[in-house]
Amino acid sequence: MIRKVLLALDGSKYSAAVTDVGVYFVAKLNARILGIHVVDSVALEGPFIHDIAGAMGFEPFINFSTKMRDALEETGRSILDIFKTTCIKEQRECDTRLLSGIISNELCDTAKLSDLIVIGRRGVNASFEHGLLGSATEGVIRKSPRPVLVVPEVFTPPTKPLIAFDGSEHSVNVLRSAADLVNSLGLELTVLTVGSADEADKILKEAEDYLKPHDVKATFKRIEGDHKTSIVKYHNEEGHDLLFMGTTHHSRVVEMVIGSTAEYVLRSVESPVFLER
């Protein structure tokens, strides 16, 4: 059950959608939300700044770094204050925390005591990341000990959730989470499997058997084709507005880019995507 939700807030337009998700979950799930802003240590102590300071013989570099930290912390406090104001306006309780370090590491460490991380698809550098995931988002997905909900620029409460299910351990984990969440939200779940008839029908039967004791209202669909493009095509053409899927890491190289299917889907659908290992 989702009872504590961690919200990654960076002040971007995607961050506003993260706040909307948090407020929605408080109302629907009776969840507690924790808004976190991380002062990026890479911005403070990155090699570029060190190199420039060293090349210029800049002795007071520490003072410069301290001033930058103060400015970034003040910005972070302002972001969290705006979040708290929104929660008060919506009559929702919330907690906040200002941290410093590598963004993805700090979020994942804090998430150990949460049930879900909510993060924007991209962040404050979105204009420099055309067609890509934000670097912090990618890091969180790779490292998170908890499920991650990646949200687009605008959040709309879901009405038609879809899960991409292939019978693997990872997809079984996300099926469990999807069952809990759609029940709490009072929604019907569509279970989608990509594959040939015999194999896919067996996988769908396993999903159906699993969902029966959860009292989940569900429909089951089988399609054929390339796994990742077929998921995206079905999701978009059928008007689904929340996608559940598992992530897999088969090698160190794949781990660096999340996994080709998950990465492709995140770049190709406009709805929130719920990811779980």
pLDDT of residue 259: 54
The CATH architecture assigned to 4-151 reads: 3-Layer(aba) Sandwich (3.40)
- State the residue for tokens 């080709």: 260
pLDDT of residue 255: 43
pLDDT digits (tens, 9 = 90+) for 17-26: 999 999 999 9
CA-closest candidate to residue 16, choices 159, 131, 155, 140: 155
3-state secondary structure of 129: coil
The stretches of 111-168 forming alpha helices (DSSP H) are 135-143
pLDDT digits (tens, 9 = 90+) for 97-146: 999 999 999 999 999 999 999 999 976 554 444 444 578 898 899 899 99
Q: What is the pTM of this model?
A: 0.87
Question: Residue 194: beta bridge partners?
Answer: 223
Rounded to the nearest integer, the mean pLDDT of the chain is: 86
- Indicate if the alpha-carbon torsion angle 11, 97, 63, 53 is positive or negative: negative
Q: Region 17-38: what's the mean pLDDT?
A: 94
Q: Cα(173)–Cα(233) distance, rounded to whole angstroms?
A: 24
Which amino acid is present at 109? D
Q: Cα(227)–Cα(259) distance, rounded to whole angstroms?
A: 13
Q: Cα(69)–Cα(161) distance, rounded to whole angstroms?
A: 42
CA-closest candidate to residue 194, choices 240, 144, 154, 233: 233
28: tokens are: 């629907």
Q: Residue 190: in which H helix or E strand, if any? A: strand 189-194
pLDDT digits (tens, 9 = 90+) for 190-241: 999 999 888 899 999 999 999 999 999 999 999 999 888 999 999 999 999 9
3-state secondary structure of 34: strand
pLDDT of residue 147: 95
Q: Cα(99)–Cα(200) distance, rounded to whole angstroms?
A: 46
DSSP state at residue 195: S
275 Cβ contact partners less than 8 Å away, ≥ 6 residues apart: 141, 147, 148, 149, 150, 174, 245, 246, 247, 262
CATH class, domain 161-276, is alpha beta
Asked if residues 247 and 277 have their Cβ atoms less than 8 Å apart, the reply is yes
Where does CATH 3.40.50.620 sit in the chain?
A: 4-151, 161-276
